[in-house]
Amino acid sequence: MKIGIACDHRGYEAKRHLLPTLKKMGHDVEDFGCHSSSSVDYPDYALPVAKLVAQGKKDIGILLDGSGIGMSIVANKVQGIRAALVHDELTARRSREHNHCNVLCLGTDLLSEAQIHKIVEIFLSTPFGDGRHIRRTAKVTEIEQANLAHSKARGKGENA
């Protein structure tokens, strides 16, 4: 699996410990930073990963910051992204089975290293469900498309 991973300064240590595990699992992992515990702005690191996942150049994104909230907000601004802020094994599984999430966001201040590794393992190994979940995710995509079309139409009217 092609994975893009990024963090801010609060997620740096967790990412540093997670990278060898992902590679040992056989994944093709590209690290988009940050590369130290010096303070940085999380949007600068979340956005490139989200864009590459949306473009299909990465299968999955993994974003780590202190609470997971900032990274998830940024990722979910990108069309085609379904980022999940995951707290435990159940939400990791459900985010994939029920919501077909393609970006995993983790709050490293709230989780142990062992929990992070287990959550990532479950997220990466859980397939998307079928039946009602297909119908529901299709509705989410329709909402996204309608909002995009509305924004484009509104922008044309304002610029005219």
Q: How confident is the model at residue 109 (pLDDT cuts 50, 70, 90)?
A: very high
Catalytic residues: 98
137-154 pLDDT per residue, tens: 778 777 777 777 777 787
* d(C-alpha 105, C-alpha 69), whole Å: 8
Sheet containing 103-107: which strands, arranged edge to edge?
A: 28-31, 2-7, 60-65, 103-107, 83-86
Average pLDDT over residues 52-81: 97
Q: What is the pTM of this model?
A: 0.89
